[in-house]
Each structure stands twice: as structure tokens, then as C-alpha cells.
């Protein structure tokens, strides 16, 4: 029994395996990878290039064209707006990529989103803003749209057989391959797209300048583009920085870069900058985030606050400045280090008759002229055929005029309806089309007056046909039609440039002296390396200075906010900083930890801080072995903005004390044996080499060392001559009870 059950299970499993078996499944097939790519990837890549990402000569990608054509068929070129969800749903008859993608396409084409210099969709409701990533568009069920007036230039000729129509994706309807645009829309709006292996990035130009340039090329193919086309024009406005060589390269090759700056105004009353136009390649949030980041890293210290004041009137970023800051110079700095100046990279990749080609402005306009000439030719041919057909019918009608009674008699006496047309053809010597037309005339129109009125159109039609034939035979006349159309487009839709062209600009130089507010401050440095800057005017309102437990404050230093700081460390290095680099603070905080602020090496500590208003004077280094080095302070001056200098002083002996003196003075050296030596720095020759070992100044016993040095105060010693030496090195003297000298240490 158990054996039979086991056989049944095996039989059932084999049967299931036979049912689900797929031929070739699990087999490893050897195939050349290049063949696999050709058979799998290449068709996909071609589809993306030709049917999705790259615009054609009419200026549109397939997704744009399908949406606009659907709106045209909905009658949205006139009348009021309709719900965007309705438009999106109907567009899916032509575009199967989903409602979200279609709606996003509509958003970008809309006036409300401000993505295009010449928008094709009039919007009602919240369509978001291209200059803000946080201002998100509303759902399609809430917004409404219709076609903008400029779309007349896209569709007015479409019913005159000017372009080819193809089946949609499921062969249920037809859609145009191109739109018969009456102006070079390809260069009037920004178009970007990323395909497989290639991309397209087309800058926008002013409509009037493009039309004028096209007219000039129609009249003279050798026309110099830059004579009529000054620079690209962007919907966000701002300033386009003129670069003749770069623009010539774009006009000639279609590749290059356009620099765009934000536009601002200065409000003197509130001491703030209002930024109202930014490059189209960035957003207001990106600008604000970058400035905030630079403020946090102390690279920008000129502002008190920044905020986004964008409202219904448009974009507005407000920057509150500190007192005494030049707004124009500050903006030059922001242009250099923030997205307020950005570049639009040009790659004019366009589909020309199914082939992607990177073309310059001139080549694109010449291709558009050829395209438009073909549209004009087809329109004339279409109208010519219609008029010839109409003339043909009227000529048949004129023969009826010779004997109306005969025509009536033929119709009345014909027994079968099917024989009416043949009998009219025989009776008047006309063809079938003419006879059909006569047979369809209403009984009330079979009178002499009606027929005479119609026949009068024959002469007019013959004249029109003659003109159309002459135009069709003359390329010059067809070009004149294009010129007239372009001039009409300019009259209707030109609204001036949005972006102002800057021919001369002032560039910010990092090497230039930074404008720093000048006001008195007091510096407090602790033994553990904490430093705080307090406005001197606020000191009287400050309480007790806060320090860490076990830390002590060194003597405070009064200086200017414009001064420079040199921090000498225990590792024979010096770090440079500006007093302005420190934030104004108050007594209740610890201050900035200098090793972290200046990114010092691990274990590195500050041993002396020098405050300089200018690079004049000397650094004095007194070493434990009794030597003294006098270094010209200019040795620490640098032409570049280096923050760290190595070999700041000699490492041959341990440093006892460092001092900065503006001019030669007398110093008191103190040894561990209690002796003091009075040395005048004028007798020591200054060195330009920072790590000079110096000269022997104080004689020491083997177990002794120099412990400190300080500036001599008049009256410090009762008999100062006892401590002065005629020659160096000298041992110095022990202070007496009458001397007020104290061994000071750092």
C-alpha cells in the first residue's frame, strides 16, 4: 500500500513538471555581448532618442506635441479653461505613459510655472514655480488650463495638409508628426532632455531677435548671426554676461556656456539687498541654503539675516547687511561663491528628419527655413487643389446656365435616380464630378440669378489660382510669405527681453582685500585656548567672563575688528586668522576653541597670540637655553590666503616666551635661578628667516633655564644699570628688596 502511494506521488510530480516545463529554461547560452546589445539595448536607445528626449525642428518633444494637439482638438484655443484632469485623461489617447507624466508636461508648458519664456498653456490655479522646489503644483483635479494665444502659430495651418499625420500607439486615431509652427519655436524656449548616450540642452532667445535673424537669413544666407542676435534670453530674467567669443561659438557650433547673474536692488532705508531674479538653473532654496552654509563656515560675515519673502508679486530673497558693508561689492562676492551666478550649458542637439544633429543657431534656423518652406509649399498646393476643384465645379455649372430647362427636363424624365448623373453628363458634356455637383443643387437654386452669382466667382478663382501657381513656382515669393508671417508674430507676441545683457562686469577677486567693518573690540584668550571677541562698547554691560573649570584668562587685548591674528603653537607652527573671522559674542559664553576653529593638528596648542594692525615690527622668541631670536614680522606676511605656516620659530630649544613688539624696546629675561637680565632689542640684528636660532642673550648654569620674558616698565628696578649688560650674553643680576620686578609667565 505504501509502495503504491509513493508511486502515485512520483507520477503526480512528474506530471506537474511536464506542465510547467519551459523550453530552454535553465540553459546557458553562449552569445557575443555586442550582439546582445544590438538586439536588446539599441532598439531601446533609438526609441528614447527619436520618440522621447530630443526635440525636433518644430521645437517640441513628442510628449509636448501630443498634449498640445489634444488641447487643440478639445477646442481650447478659444473659450474658457477646463479641468487639467480632463485634458490629461484625453491626452492618454495619444500618450500612454501615464497621467503623472502628462500632467508634469503640462505644468512645464504653463504660464503659471514660469519655466518657458513663451508659455503655450494658460493656467488657472497653483501650477508651482520653476524657481522654487518647495512651491509644489496642485493636483490636476484642482487646476484648469487652455491653450495660450501663441498656439495659433502652431495650429492655424495644420488642417491645410502642411504636415504628415501618423497613427497613434493603438492605431485608433491620427496625430501630427510635427507642428507647422510659423516661427522658430525651437530657439524661443529652453528645452532639455537626456537620452541614451546623448543629451540636448537648448537655450532660449528673445522672439523678436530670433525672428529678425531668420528674416535676415531669408534675405541673405551669409548673414552674421551676432549682428541681430545679441544673447540668449531666459524666463527668470537676471543678467546675461556678454562673452563675444563664447556666443560666437554657440551660434556656430551649438555648444558653449552662458553665464547668468541674479538681479538685485539695494534698500538704503533698511540696509538690505532684495534679490528678485535668479538664474533659471537654480532655485531660491538652493541660493538660501548655500548662503547659510557659508555663514556657518565663516566664509560670509557681512550679513545679519537672510529670508525668503516670495509672495504673489513674485520671487524675493532679502539679505540684511551689517553696518558699513558696500552692497555692490558684497554681491560681487556672492556671485563668485553662490548659485546667484550660474552657467547654462548649451548642447543644441535637434532631430532633423529622424537624425540627431548638434547644430549652431545659424544651422538650426536654416533647417527651420527649409521646414517652413515645405509647410508653405504644401499649404499652397492644398489651397490650389481646393480652388481648382471649385473652379472645375463652377465651370460645369456654367454649362447648365446655357439651358436650365434642359437640366430640369433631364432630371424629371430620368426614371432611376442612379441614372441622373450619367444623363446630365451626356446632356451637357460634363464629367461625373461636375454632374454630381449639379444634381445636388437644391430646386430653389435652379434659377438664373443664383447660377450667375456663382459663375462670377470663376474669374476670381482663375486669378487666385494663377497667383498660387506663380507663388508655388517661386521660392522667393514663398520666402516673402515667411517674412510676412514672422513680422506678424513679432507684432503680436514680442514683449521685450527678460534678461538684461551685461557687456562690462566687475569680477570679485579672492586676492582683493575683503571689506571689513571697523570697530573697537576686546579679545579674551584663556590658557586652554578659548578665545572670545566682545565689542568694546558692550563691555560695560557685560558681567563676569565665563571660563571652564581649571582654566584662566590671559590679559585682555584691545584692538580693531580689522586686525589680523597670528597664533603660534607648541609645534613650531603659526596659524593666521582675522579678528573679523570671530563672531561677536558676550561674556557668558566660553568663546571659540582655537585649535578646532583653525583645524590644528592633534595635540597642538596655542602658546602665543599676536595681534597685528599691519605687518610692521618684530616677533621676539626667547628660548630656555638663553638664546633670543628677533624676526621681522614681514616674514609672516603672505601674498596668498594661506592660513598655516610651518617652521614659525626654531625648534632647537624649548620656547620660553614669545612676544610681538611694534618697535625696539627693552625686555626683561628671567631665569629659573632667579636672575633677571635687561636686554634692548635694538642691539640684536633682525632676521628674515623665521626659524632662526637667534643669538645667545642670557648666560645660564647647566641646571638653569630661561622661564619667562616681559616688557620692561620704567621704575621696575631701583638700579636698572645692574641688570643691563654691556655685551651679550650676560648672566644678569638678582633683584633686590627695593626692586618691584616680578617673574611674569605666559
Residue 50 DSSP code: I
Task: Give the total residue count for the chain.
Answer: 746
Whether the Cβ atoms of residue 50 and residue 177 lie closer than 8 Å to each other: no
For residue 517, the number of C-alpha atoms closer than 13 Å in the C-beta half-sphere is 21
Peptide bond into 479 cis (omega under 30): no
In sequence order, which residues have a C-beta less than 8 Å from that of residue 690 and are 6 or more positions away? 631, 635, 636, 645, 647, 648, 649
Give the integer Cα–Cα distance in Å for 354 and 357.
9
The grid coordinates listed for 342 are 550660474
Give the integer Cα–Cα distance in Å for 687 and 695.
11
Give the integer Cα–Cα distance in Å for 36 and 160.
45
Give the integer Cα–Cα distance in Å for 338 and 333.
8
Residues noted as catalytic: 142
The grid coordinates listed for 366 are 536654416
Whether the Cβ atoms of residue 132 and residue 124 lie closer than 8 Å to each other: no
Give the integer Cα–Cα distance in Å for 247 and 544.
63
What is the signed CA dihedral for 248, 254, 255, 261, rounded to 10 degrees?
A: 70
The per-residue DSSP string of 263-314 comes to EEEEETTTTEEEEEE--TTS-HHHHHHHHHHHHHTTS--SEEEEEE--BTTB
Whether the Cβ atoms of residue 380 and residue 465 lie closer than 8 Å to each other: no
Please write down the long-range contacts of 537-541, taking CB distance under 8 Å and 24 or more positions apart: 538/586
Residue 430 DSSP code: -
Residues 688, 694, 697: CA angle, nearest 5 degrees:
140
Select from 218, 242, 239 the least CA-distant residue to 229: 242
The grid coordinates listed for 243 are 562673452
**Phi–psi pair at 333, nearest 5 degrees:** -70, -45
User: What stretch of H or E contains 410?
Assistant: helix 404-413
Span between the terminal Cα atoms of the chain, in Å? 103
What is the signed CA dihedral for 219, 220, 221, 222, rounded to 10 degrees?
A: -160
In sequence order, which residues have a C-beta less than 8 Å from that of residue 348 and are 6 or more positions away? 200, 201, 202, 250, 254, 255, 358, 359, 360, 361, 364
Amino acid at each position: 500500500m505504501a509502495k503504491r502511494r509513493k508511486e502515485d506521488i512520483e507520477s503526480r510530480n512528474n506530471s506537474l513538471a511536464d506542465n510547467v516545463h519551459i523550453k530552454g529554461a535553465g540553459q546557458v547560452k553562449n552569445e557575443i555581448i555586442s550582439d546582445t546589445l544590438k538586439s536588446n539595448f539599441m532598439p531601446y536607445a533609438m526609441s528614447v532618442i527619436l520618440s522621447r528626449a530630443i526635440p525636433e525642428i518644430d521645437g517640441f518633444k513628442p510628449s509636448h506635441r501630443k498634449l498640445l494637439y489634444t488641447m487643440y482638438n478639445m477646442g481650447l484655443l478659444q473659450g474658457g479653461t477646463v479641468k487639467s484632469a480632463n485634458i490629461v485623461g484625453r491626452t492618454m489617447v495619444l500618450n500612454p505613459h501615464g497621467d503623472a507624466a502628462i500632467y508634469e508636461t503640462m505644468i512645464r508648458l504653463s504660464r503659471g510655472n514660469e519655466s518657458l519664456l513663451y508659455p503655450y498653456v494658460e493656467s488657472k490655479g497653483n501650477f508651482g514655480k520653476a524657481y522654487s522646489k518647495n512651491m509644489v503644483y496642485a493636483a490636476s483635479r484642482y487646476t484648469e488650463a487652455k491653450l495660450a494665444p501663441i498656439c495659433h502659430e502652431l495650429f492655424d495651418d495644420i488642417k491645410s495638409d502642411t504636415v504628415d499625420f501618423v497613427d497613434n500607439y493603438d492605431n485608433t486615431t491620427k496625430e501630427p508628426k510635427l507642428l507647422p509652427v510659423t516661427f522658430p519655436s525651437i530657439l524661443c524656449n529652453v528645452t532639455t532632455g537626456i537620452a541614451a548616450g546623448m543629451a540636448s540642452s537648448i537655450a532660449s532667445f528673445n522672439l523678436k531677435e530670433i525672428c529678425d535673424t531668420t528674416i535676415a537669413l531669408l534675405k541673405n544666407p551669409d548673414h552674421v548671426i551676432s549682428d541681430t542676435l545679441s544673447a540668449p534670453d531666459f524666463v527668470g530674467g537676471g543678467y546675461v554676461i556678454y562673452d563675444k567669443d563664447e556666443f560666437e561659438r554657440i551660434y556656430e557650433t551649438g555648444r558653449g556656456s552662458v553665464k547668468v547673474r541674479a538681479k538685485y536692488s539695494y534698500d538704503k532705508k533698511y540696509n538690505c539687498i532684495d534679490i528678485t531674479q535668479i538664474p533659471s538653473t537654480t532655485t531660491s532654496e538652493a541660493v538660501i541654503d548655500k548662503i547659510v552654509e557659508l555663514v556657518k563656515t565663516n566664509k560670509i560675515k557681512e550679513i545679519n539675516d537672510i529670508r525668503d519673502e516670495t509672495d504673489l508679486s513674485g520671487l524675493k530673497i532679502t539679505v540684511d547687511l551689517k553696518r558699513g558693508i558696500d552692497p555692490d561689492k558684497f554681491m560681487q562676492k556672492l556671485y563668485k561663491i553662490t548659485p546667484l551666478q550660474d552657467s547654462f550649458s548649451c548642447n543644441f542637439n535637434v532631430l532633423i528628419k529622424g537624425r540627431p544633429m548638434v547644430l549652431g543657431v545659424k544651422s538650426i534656423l536654416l533647417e527651420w527655413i527649409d521646414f517652413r518652406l515645405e509647410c508653405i509649399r504644401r499649404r499652397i498646393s492644398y489651397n490650389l487643389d481646393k480652388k481648382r476643384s471649385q473652379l472645375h465645379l463652377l465651370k460645369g455649372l456654367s454649362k447648365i446656365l446655357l439651358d436650365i430647362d434642359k437640366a430640369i427636363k433631364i432630371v424629371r424624365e430620368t426614371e432611376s435616380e442612379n441614372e441622373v448623373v450619367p444623363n446630365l453628363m451626356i446632356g451637357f458634356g460634363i464629367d461625373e464630378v461636375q454632374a454630381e455637383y449639379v444634381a445636388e443643387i437644391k430646386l430653389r437654386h435652379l434659377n438664373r440669378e443664383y447660377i450667375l452669382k456663382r459663375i462670377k466667382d470663376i474669374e476670381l478663382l482663375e486669378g487666385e489660382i494663377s497667383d498660387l501657381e506663380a507663388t508655388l513656382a517661386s521660392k522667393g515669393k514663398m520666402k516673402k510669405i515667411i517674412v510676412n508671417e514672422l513680422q506678424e508674430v513679432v507684432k503680436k507676441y514680442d514683449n521685450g527681453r527678460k534678461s538684461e545683457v551685461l557687456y562690462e562686469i566687475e569680477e570679485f577677486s579672492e586676492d582683493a582685500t575683503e571689506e571689513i567693518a571697523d570697530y573697537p573690540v576686546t579679545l579674551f584668550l584663556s590658557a586652554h585656548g578659548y578665545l572670545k571677541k566682545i565689542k568694546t562698547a558692550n563691555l560695560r554691560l557685560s558681567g563676569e567672563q565665563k571660563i571652564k573649570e581649571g582654566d584662566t584668562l590671559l590679559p585682555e587685548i584691545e584692538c580693531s575688528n580689522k586686525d589680523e591674528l597670528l597664533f603660534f603653537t607648541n609645534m613650531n607652527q603659526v596659524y593666521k586668522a582675522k579678528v573679523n573671522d570671530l563672531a561677536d559674542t558676550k561674556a557668558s559664553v566660553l568663546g571659540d576653541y582655537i585649535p578646532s576653529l583653525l583645524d590644528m593638528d592633534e595635540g597642538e596648542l596655542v602658546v602665543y597670540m599676536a595681534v597685528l594692525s599691519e605687518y610692521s615690527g618684530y616677533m621676539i622668541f626667547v628660548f630656555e637655553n638663553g638664546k633670543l631670536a628677533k624676526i621681522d614680522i614681514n616674514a609672516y606676511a603672505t601674498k596668498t590666503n594661506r592660513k598655516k605656516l610651518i617652521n614659525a620659530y626654531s625648534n632647537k630649544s624649548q620656547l620660553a616666551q614669545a612676544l610681538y613688539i611694534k618697535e625696539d624696546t627693552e625686555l626683561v629675561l628671567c631665569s629659573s635661578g632667579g636672575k633677571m637680565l635687561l636686554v634692548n632689542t635694538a642691539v640684536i640684528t633682525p632676521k628674515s628667516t623665521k626659524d632662526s636660532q637667534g643669538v645667545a642673550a642670557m648666560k645660564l648654569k647647566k641646571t638653569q633655564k630661561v622661564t619667562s620674558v616681559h616688557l620692561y616698565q620704567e621704575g621696575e628696578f631701583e638700579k636698572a644699570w645692574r641688570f643691563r649688560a654691556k655685551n651679550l650674553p650676560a648672566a644678569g643680576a638678582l633683584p633686590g628688596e627695593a626692586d618691584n620686578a616680578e617673574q611674569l609667565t605666559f
